[in-house]
Structure 1
Amino acid sequence: MTHVSSPALLEVSSLAKAFGGNRVLQDVHLAIGRGEIVGLLGPNGSGKSTLLNTITGFEAIDAGSVRYAGQEIGRLAAHRIVGQGVARTFQLPSMPQKMSVIEVAMAAASAHHGFWETLLRGRAARRAEQAARDKATRLLDEFLLTHVRDLPASALSGGQKKLLGIVCALMGDPQLLMLDEPTAGVHPNLRNDIVQALLRLNRQGMTLVIVEHDMHFIREVCSRCIVLDRGHIVASCAPQELSSNERVLQAYLGGGTSQQDQATEVTP
């Protein structure tokens, strides 16, 4: 198992996942320390998104163990994992057509905390709704979305949707946030906003695991990288060590794209 310098918040042991005869993850072991920012890397098809999906309950694991804060969560439903303190974002966030930005954020509070509050009546219901509105307002301001709070969420740019996805994840007060390509296809100005937001969250004590292909982003944000290849972890190292790691280079140079393109992804 990967060694970390701080107590492990997330521990994955002997994790396996297959779709039919396709073994996507095989005997995966990793540990994430509290307060780390870890980049999850690998060529296309290496199993990165599937690993995120199995850890967060969106795909059932076939074998192995996932422990969060010392508790086994590997076979819990996704909403129960969120309730334990693990949240995630998606590579291509889908937004409702008829809900405003602030309504989407407020709806995320119900999704994270359950539906009982939405069934309450009278003063308690009004208090719960106001608390969710206040929290959503604060997060939208923090993530530079106040000026679009009343627009349809579906009308946002790709980068703004990714920021809103982070806001929705944070409505549940997670300790561990897992992000799937948070800067892919994002305008450079918004990319910098996302970078600064993630660094700020980490300074506030949040642990981050980030699937990303942008090596400049990885070097800018991550303290450690875990590299997957064909469902196996082949490296755990600092970003500046990637270009000299033979197993990492073999993983990228052995892929289906050109060697020049693949080498660029791991060159500092």
Structure 2
Amino acid sequence: MSTSREYLLSVQSVAKAFGGNQVLRDVSFNVQRGEIVGLLGPNGSGKSTLLNCITGFEAVDGGAIALGARRIERLQAHRIVRHGIARTFQLPSMPTKMSVIEVAMAACTRQHGVLATLLGLPALRRAEEQARAKAERLIDELLLSPVRDLPASALSGGQKKLLGIVCALMGEPELVLLDEPTAGVHPNLRRDLVEALKRLNAQGMTLVIVEHDMHFIRDVCSRCVVLDRGEIVASCRPDKLASNARVIQAYLGGRHSPQALEENAP
């Protein structure tokens, strides 16, 4: 597969089946550096499976995935993380005996043990100090400072989503995939999350966001890729979704109403 240097992520002809159920069919799309792309589609359209294939949690049956010029579709998930892709999950699980700040620090990809072995304890302490400073900055950015010392498992569902984003960002990835980041997030936090994601993007972060909240999509995304029954049916600006016949068919069975599209997005 040849990839253009302008694309950070390139997905070409990806297919995935579970038994006789063909979940993804010839899926192809690209993401440019600096974009915020919404990945949309009705329930069962293949969005989560596509995220799992990109991040190495599922093996593709066919096709190719590249981060920049590097093919990654056969790599294990931990190696894909090291190459620069991080993700969040719909239902993040948090440890019961670690605080918010400790969970964030643990997500740092620095190899503290290797540093201690090779360079000694002073280098380890410096690395830990740097990890703490980074964690505190991100916790503040994602509005979790008031709960930084609480057990991570005691957070609300929405706060756990925000902590999941903090953990994804700790390794300084080039690309972050967010799986329904607003689900369970209080409306006040949602507004702040929009602004935080915009700030991260302005700093150079590329984002792909699976989301059902059309207001969020319009506020954040520059482009939307729409899946239906495992196939890409549209790639357009958010303001073009309600006039796209294939998107309307996917969500509404042909009934054309921008308001109905927002109300029926799962």
Give TM-score scaled by structure 1 length: 0.90
Partner of 2:73: 74
Structure 2 CA distance for aligned equivalents of residues 13 and 85 of structure 1 = 19
Give the residue type in structure 1 aligned to 2:14: L
What is the SS of the residue equivalent to 2:107?
helix
- Give the aligned partner of residue 83 of structure 1: 82
**1:99 partnered with 2:98:** yes
SS at match of 1:27: strand
- The percentage of counterpart residues that share the same residue type is 69
Q: Which amino acid aligns with 1:229?
A: D
Q: Which residue of 1 aligns with 2:262?
A: 264
SS in structure 2 opposite 1:31? strand
**Does the CA contact (< 8 Å) of 2:113 and 2:124 recur in 1?**
no
Q: Deviation of residue 123 (structure 1)?
A: 1.7
Match of residue 159 from structure 2: 160
Give the equivalent residue in structure 2 for 1:227. 226
**Match of 1:247, SS?**
helix
Query: In 2, are the aligned partners of 1:91 and 1:181 still within 8 Å (CA)?
Result: yes
3-state SS, counterpart of residue 91 of structure 1: coil
Task: Tell whether the 8 Å contact from 2:88 to 2:164 is kept in structure 1 after alignment.
Answer: yes
Counterparts of 1:98 and 1:65 in 2: how far apart (Å)?
40
Structure 1 segments unaligned to the other structure (5+ residues): none
More displaced, 220-229 or 144-153?
Answer: 144-153
Give RMSD over aligned pairs.
2.2
Over 3 Å counting, the alpha-carbon distance change for 1:115 and 1:26 in structure 2 is farther
1:190-237 CA-to-partner distances (Å, cap 9, x unmatched) read 111211111111111111100000000011111110000000000001
Contact 1:117 1:128 in 2 (8 A): no
Q: Which runs of at least 4 in structure 1 moved beyond 2 Å after TM superposition? A: 112-122, 259-267
Distance (Å, rounded) in 2 between the aligned partners of 1:82 and 1:51: 16
SS of structure 2 residue aligned to 1:150: coil
Deviations 1:7-40 (A, max 9, x none): 1111001101111111111110000011111100
| Mapped partners of 1:119, 1:266: distance in 2 | 54
**Letter in structure 2 aligned against 1:235:** A
CA contact (8 A) 2:37 2:208 kept: yes
User: What's the secondary structure of 2:66's corresponding residue?
Assistant: strand
Q: Any stretches of 5+ residues in structure 2 without a counterpart?
A: none
CA offset digits 1:70-118 (Å, max 9, x no partner): 1101111111111111111111111001110011001101xx3446447
User: Would you say the 8 A contact 1:37–1:210 is kept in 2?
Assistant: yes
Q: Distance in 2 between matches of 1:160 and 1:118?
A: 32
Counterpart secondary structure, 1:190:
helix
